[in-house]
A and B are shown apart, each in its own frame.
Chain A
Amino acid sequence: MTAARAAAIVWRKEIRAEMRTKELLQTTVAFVVIVVILFSFAFQPATVQARIYGPGLLWIALLFASSLMLNPSFAKEQSNDTIYALRMAPVSPFAIYLGKMLANFSFLIITEAVLLPVFAVLYNFALWPIIGRLALVLLLGTFGLAVTGTVFSAVATQARMREVLLPLLLLPVTVPLLIASVEATAALFAESPALDRTWLAVLIAFDVIFFAAAWLLSDYLLEE
């Protein structure tokens, strides 16, 4: 079985398990919406201020959401003892990582698809003219989040207090991703929207470097 096929199977299993309960998605979506609403009390969400703070708070909300959402990715395998089945499966550990990572990526994209209209209405942004370019920034940023977050989710599984540990590991490592995504989003929300190539390049560099690192280190992720 090729790695791609095995990864697709793991991905399908994750999606099916989630769609049966939808526990993770409904909790995360509710969480990000609450965060976005609460942020409106930190400053006046008038158009001028929203343009300054909007991109930052959008990404902070997503970062917090992902640090919560990615935690069960490996933790549930541990508590159900299904991690042994994954380890024994005759596929490479990278395929398992890839399937899990793509599943987390999909969940985050679904969350963003729900969050974005709410965000645009509450903070008075016109999404339609920039939707394609914004989607590109969101995809690149979310991919980086899923890549690093899934690795740290596996690392944190074996630790005590893993729910608190995962944000502690993930948030400082994603600093370059946060800066680049916020700046690229801010350039799109500006008076004359533009796609900032420099920040896109930083995002792509982040994705490529950490995806390559995850690939090289994947053998050690599922170890006992």
Chain B
Amino acid sequence: MKTRAISLAILAALFLFAGYAVFFIAPDEATMHAIQRIFYFHASSGWAAMEGTAIVFFANIAYLRTRTPKWDWLAVSAVEVSLAFWSVVLVTGPIWAHPVWGIWWAWDWRLTLTLILWVLYVAYLILRTLIADFERRAAASAIFGIFVFLGVPLDYLSIRIFRTQHPQPVLFGGPDSGLAPTMLKVFLFCGFLMTLLMIFLIAQRYRVESLRYRTEELKIVADEQEELRASARANVQVRGVALKK
């Protein structure tokens, strides 16, 4: 409780500073001006989302190998947090793209790949809601998660070839390579900060998941005891009737 409050306060302070750095320390971009500043949060969210995705894969394999519930808790926490970060990427991207490219969405390989991953993680979470039993749910979603992760390089490869063989309807004016030194510093700081936020969120979600699991266990114990008590009561009544006779 105490560590949670402290880490939350530190994160909030760092984010305030990041906001300041993005708007006042980082220099103005030559062609895009203010809208370019969304990149500091857009790209660093993508960074955190990718790290979260790697954690999911690791946790899925660890669950199937060890069968300890904690790996399933970690997997579902990381999926949800990554999905949140992918959503940030998918929302901030078009906000940037509309003034710069003139369109909200282009079927460029990065955008397409992000969108597919987003859909796959939604499918992962839906799969989890449809299986009631803990062990079945954990194993089924771990298998699906591993297949999703193995598909990413293939998605990357096929979309990359597919979209470069076709002309792109994109006026790409962004900083293709090389950032100004101050920009790079601000960007690295934002990336680091998003990673911290991701770890913090996964830790919180993990705690909720573990509590949920323990509640389920306690419910089962309580139900059993209730049944025992009910059958004991029934026994007493039956005997009572027999005595009266």
Contact = CB atoms under 8 A, between A and B. Distances in A.
A175 B146 contact: no
A151 B127 CA distance: 14
B146 A176 contact: no
A221 B162 contact: no
Nearest to B126: A168
Q: For this complex, into which size category does the number of interface residues on chain B fall?
A: 20 to 34
B140 A210 contact: no
A155 interface: yes
B147 A173 contact: yes
Interface in A153-175: 155-156, 158-162, 165, 168-169, 172-173, 175
A126 interface: no
A175 B146 CA distance: 16
Contacts of A213: 146-147, 150
Interface in B103-159: 116, 119-120, 123, 126-127, 130-133, 136, 139-140, 142-144, 146-148, 150-151, 154-155, 157-159
Contacts of B64: 217, 220
Q: Which of A160, A183, A217 is packed against the most chain B CB atoms within 10 Å?
A: A217
A33 B127 CA distance: 30
6 contacts: A156-B140, A160-B132, A172-B120, A175-B155, A176-B158, A179-B162
Interface of A: 148, 151-152, 155-156, 158-162, 165, 168-169, 172-173, 175-176, 179-180, 183, 198-199, 202, 205-206, 209-210, 213, 217, 220-221, 223
